[in-house]
């Protein structure tokens, strides 16, 4: 696995090291030892799948407040998505900055999203499927979100929105005061298993 830190501190794009032969390729898609060696959160407790029949479907921008803030590993297992993360940690030098990456079933790229980031994606193909591994169990009372079209973030989505949930459409515009619980996550978003 190849780990490349993005411009947002603590967020990584992970590429598979493919061993190819006449059958195709084989690659490790998760290795606790390699995550720990790179100083990343390797305590994953839940896996989720998101199936999206229509191109242009938008999901996001989601996060959970502490004490249920979650690290996420996101990959596309069928089709393609435009994956977006936003640094919501008030004490981070990249506060309110975002990046996006095309995650496809073909490229096998994985987005490592630390605690304190909002995450969302838009499907680039019909019948796209996304697989998440997360470090915390779902905690409804701690679920939060920011608008996908918040003018302060100005995320450049590739397509008009074809499908979006009522909840995602209803998130309020960014209020920095509401992000106070995410303070101090930028210093401990990379705690290793041994440090916890």
12, 82, 112, 132: the catalytic one is 132
Q: Are 58 and 117 in contact (CB under 8 A)?
A: no
Q: What is the pTM of this model?
A: 0.92
Q: Give pLDDT, residue 187.
A: 66
Strand partners, 3: 14
12, 25, 62, 82: the catalytic one is 62
Strand partners, 118: 86
Tokens representing residue 120 in the block: 């969302």
Q: Are 14 and 35 in contact (CB under 8 A)?
A: no
Residue 132 annotated in active site: yes
Q: What is the rounded distance in angstroms from the CA atom of residue 25 to the CA atom of residue 117?
A: 32
Nearest to 117 by CA among 76, 69, 154: 69
Q: What is the rounded distance in angstroms from the CA atom of residue 117 to the CA atom of residue 113?
A: 7
Q: Give pLDDT, residue 194.
A: 36
196 residues of the chain, pLDDT tens digit each: 999 999 999 999 999 999 999 999 899 989 999 999 999 999 999 999 999 999 999 999 999 999 999 999 999 999 999 999 999 999 999 999 999 999 999 999 999 999 999 999 999 999 999 999 999 999 999 999 999 999 999 999 999 999 999 999 999 999 999 999 999 998 644 433 333 3
Cis previous bond, 23, omega within 30:
no
Tokens representing residue 48 in the block: 């989720």
Q: What is the rounded distance in angstroms from the CA atom of residue 22 to the CA atom of residue 40?
A: 34
Rg (CA), the chain: 16
Q: Give pLDDT, residue 130.
A: 98
Residue 12 annotated in active site: no
Tokens representing residue 105 in the block: 């079933």
**Domains of the chain, earliest start first:** 2-185 (2.60.120.10)
Residues whose CB falls within 8 Å of the CB of residue 31, separated by 6 or more in sequence, listed in order = 1
Nearest to 73 by CA among 5, 138, 145, 13: 13
| Distance set, CA 140 to CA 3, 163, 179, 188 (Å) | 31, 22, 17, 23
């Amino acid at each position: 696995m190849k780990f490349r830190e993005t411009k947002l501190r603590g967020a990584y794009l992970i590429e598979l090291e493919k061993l190819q032969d006449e059958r195709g390729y084989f690659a490790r898609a998760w290795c606790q030892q390699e995550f720990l060696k790179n100083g990343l959160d390797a305590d994953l407790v839940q896996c989720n799948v998101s199936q999206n029949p229509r191109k242009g479907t938008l999901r996001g921008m989601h996060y959970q407040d502490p004490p249920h803030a979650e690290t996420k590993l996101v990959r596309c297992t069928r089709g393609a998505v435009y994956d977006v993360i936003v640094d919501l940690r008030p004490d981070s030098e990249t506060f309110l900055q975002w990046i996006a990456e095309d995650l496809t079933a073909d490229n096998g790229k994985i987005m490592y999203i630390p605690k304190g980031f909002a995450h969302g994606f838009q499907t680039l193909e019909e019948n796209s499927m996304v697989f998440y591994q997360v470090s915390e169990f779902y905690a409804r009372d701690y679920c939060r979100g920011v608008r996908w079209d918040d003018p302060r973030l100005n995320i450049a989505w590739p397509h008009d929105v074809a499908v979006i949930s009522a909840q995602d459409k209803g998130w309020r515009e960014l209020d920095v005061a509401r992000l106070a619980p995410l303070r101090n996550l930028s210093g401990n978003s990379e705690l290793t298993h041994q440090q916890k």
